[in-house]
Amino acid sequence: MQTDSSFTFVLFGGTGDLSMRKILPALYEAHRAGMLAASGKIVAVARHEEDRAGYLQWVNEHVKAHVAKSGIDENAWASFIDRIEYVKLDLGKAEDFVKLRDALQDQSGTRVFYLATGPSLFVPICHALASVGLNENARIVLEKPLGYDLRSSNAINDAVGEIFAEEQIYRIDHYLGKEPVQNLLALRFGNALFEPLWRREWVESIQITIAEELGVEARGDFYDNTGALRDMVQNHLLQLLSIVAMEPPHSMDSDSVRDEKLRVLRALKPIDPRDISKVAVRGQYHAGVIRGTSVPAYATEHGVKTDSATETFVALKVEIENWRWAGVPFFLRTGKRLADRVAEIVVNFRAVPHSALGASALRAGANRLVIRLQPNETIRLYCLAKKPGEGMNLSSVHLDLAFDQFFKEGQMEAYQRLLLDVINGRLALFVRRDEQEAAWKWVEPILNEWAASGKPKPYAAGTWGPAAASAMLAQHGTCWLEEEN
């Protein structure tokens, strides 16, 4: 389906890594699929001394490698390149924004300003746009991290909010655009089968994991001042938790969905600083081996302080204080240099109250739902079935929703979906300011306690993190999914 109307997509940080790896490949895929209005234009903005031809050569060299598995259609690529313009812009020069305004004068339709820059530039860019009248009939996309804590996040939101109305601001979290997350909503709210079970009476525990094999790569300076709690928990993990735990919205319009997510975030049980050691584990990777390759310790990575106390791993036990989820533990986990690259949600249902079929029917996790977000996107329902042969011997089997096998259409990448939503003015999959504030308020006691305490627990690269993360689950009679398997 084509976008509703003409647009101009202005990409600040147009030569940056995010633009090359995610944003321009996503726009190309939308273009190739016929989802962009023919009159839509892309204007890349950066400080590099390039003309349009030089920038397009840069795009050819750096974007094609990141296009999806289907590869490049050269005809589609040529017509996509025709959409792109380039404007050299120095944020410190007001006259450069006049030049940008002049470059956009002949463009019709909605203007989208995508800030693929560091958060320190968000406010200066917004003020400069307003100074030349470019904040009217416009939408602005803000990448994470939006601030360092609640105070700095509010400062950015206050400043941006003076220039753009809340309905113009799109705070992007790409995990919300992933196909399995969308299918989780469909599964819950489109089928009578799961809704009666989606509550404390039938759910034993829920795990949400985002694990990476990669280290900090070239982001050592950034990451050492951020850490896993700010980089992943405050946004991605809490957003996924709110999607899993939310009440059914009365419709799928933007505020109905976000109102329900907000209620979950506000219902998170506050963490008493005295209890943080019991419900929160932080770790930092040391040297180890991943898939046969030796990798260095975090403290020796480029840009990282040798005595750094920054966490590269976080595991949390979270509780939601409402009628649906009271008493059900949610275990959140994220880390770098772990044993595998995986993002998944695991819903462990309670065992049957009595079994005439033997002890296997009473074991925890006999019935579970696993929503895999990456690397392959699937939803798998585990249950028990009789093994062939004599006797009533039960074995775990699973039912798969493998999207690539069932649906002929190719799956839409998260950034592609979210960029189309921005262009078409759909806010449901973007984070509202009050959601962001609620998330920061909940994580701040942990941030403050860790800032005042000792170093993170060490774990070897290529493992699943500190042993304390497994011990935390063991106290509740459960384990992480990979430990059971």
Q: Are 212 and 469 in contact (CB under 8 A)?
A: no
How many domains does the structure of the chain reveal?
A: 2
Which residue matches tokens 């775990």? 396
Q: Do residue 330 and residue 435 come from a single domain?
A: yes
Report how far residue 386's alpha carbon sits from residue 407's, in angstroms, rounded to the nearest whole number: 30
pLDDT of 1 above 50: no
Confidence of residue 346 (pLDDT cuts 50, 70, 90): very high
Q: What is the CATH number of the domain that holds 445?
A: 3.30.360.10
pLDDT of 120 above 70: yes
Q: Do residue 229 and residue 302 come from a single domain?
A: yes
Residue 166, amino acid: E
Residue-level pLDDT at 344: 95
| Closest by CA position to 212, among listed 228, 224, 235, 225 | 228
pLDDT tens-digit profile of 392-448? 777 778 888 776 677 666 678 899 999 999 999 999 999 999 999 999 999 999 999
Q: Give the other-Cβ count within 10 Å of 105's Cβ.
A: 6
Residue 482 or 393, more confident: 482
Residue 473 — φ and ψ, nearest 5°? -75, -35
pLDDT tens-digit profile of 227-247? 999 999 999 999 999 999 999
pLDDT of 164 above 90: yes
Identify the H or E element spanning 203.
strand 203-211
Q: What is the CATH number of the domain that holds 68?
A: 3.40.50.720
Is residue 154 in some structural domain? no
Is residue 369 in some structural domain? yes
pLDDT tens-digit profile of 446-478? 999 999 888 999 999 999 999 999 999 999 999
Tokens representing 333 are 């986990």
- How open is the CA angle 348-350-354, to the nearest 5 degrees? 150
Provide mean pLDDT across the span 182-187: 85
The gap between the terminal CA atoms of the chain, to the nearest Å, is 42
| Residue ranges of the binding site for substrate | 174, 178, 212, 231, 336
Percent of the chain with pLDDT over 90: 69
| Residue ranges of the binding site | 47, 90-91, 144, 174, 178, 212, 231, 336
Q: Do residue 98 and residue 198 come from a single domain?
A: no
Provide mean pLDDT across the span 223-228: 93
pLDDT of 76 above 90: yes
Provide mean pLDDT across the span 291-305: 94
| Residue ranges of the binding site for NADP(+) | 47, 90-91, 144
Confidence of residue 359 (pLDDT cuts 50, 70, 90): low
Residue-level pLDDT at 404: 66
Tokens representing 482 are 């990979």
Provide mean pLDDT across the span 40-57: 91
Is residue 165 in some structural domain? no
Tokens representing 223 are 């990451």
Is residue 389 in some structural domain? yes
Report how far residue 141's alpha carbon sits from residue 427's, in angstroms, rounded to the nearest whole number: 11
pLDDT of 3 above 60: no
- How open is the CA angle 41-45-51, to the nearest 5 degrees? 90
Q: Do residue 55 and residue 192 come from a single domain?
A: no
Q: Do residue 462 and residue 327 come from a single domain?
A: yes
Q: Do residue 352 and residue 418 come from a single domain?
A: yes
The mean predicted confidence, pLDDT, of the chain is 90
Is residue 54 in some structural domain? yes
| Closest by CA position to 212, among listed 53, 58, 350, 374 | 374
- Beta-carbon contacts of 414 under 8 Å, excluding residues fewer than 6 positions away, are 174, 175, 176, 177, 178, 179
Q: Do residue 196 and residue 285 come from a single domain?
A: yes
- Beta-sheet pairing, 313-318 with 280-286: antiparallel
Handedness of CA 438, 441, 447, 453 (dihedral sign): negative
Whether residue 476 lies in the annotated active site: no
Percent of the chain with pLDDT over 70: 94
Identify the H or E element spanning 170.
strand 169-171
Tell me which of 109-118, 203-212, 359-368 is least confident: 359-368
Is residue 94 in some structural domain? yes
Residues 363-367: contacts with CB within 8 Å, 24+ apart? 364/204, 364/477, 364/478, 365/204, 365/478, 365/484, 366/396
Residue 459, amino acid: Y
Is residue 2 in some structural domain? no
Q: Do residue 456 and residue 414 come from a single domain?
A: yes
Q: Do residue 439 and residue 307 come from a single domain?
A: yes
pLDDT tens-digit profile of 302-320? 999 999 999 999 999 999 9
Q: Do residue 389 and residue 475 come from a single domain?
A: yes
Q: Do residue 221 and residue 334 come from a single domain?
A: yes
Is residue 27 in some structural domain? yes
Q: What are the CA-CA distances from residue 186 to residues 194, 221, 254, 435 (Å)?
A: 11, 40, 16, 22
Question: Among the three residues 125, 143, 161, which one is the final residue of a domain in this structure?
Answer: 143
Question: Which residue range is the domain that position 136 belongs to?
Answer: 7-143
Q: Is pTM, for the whole model, over 0.85? A: yes
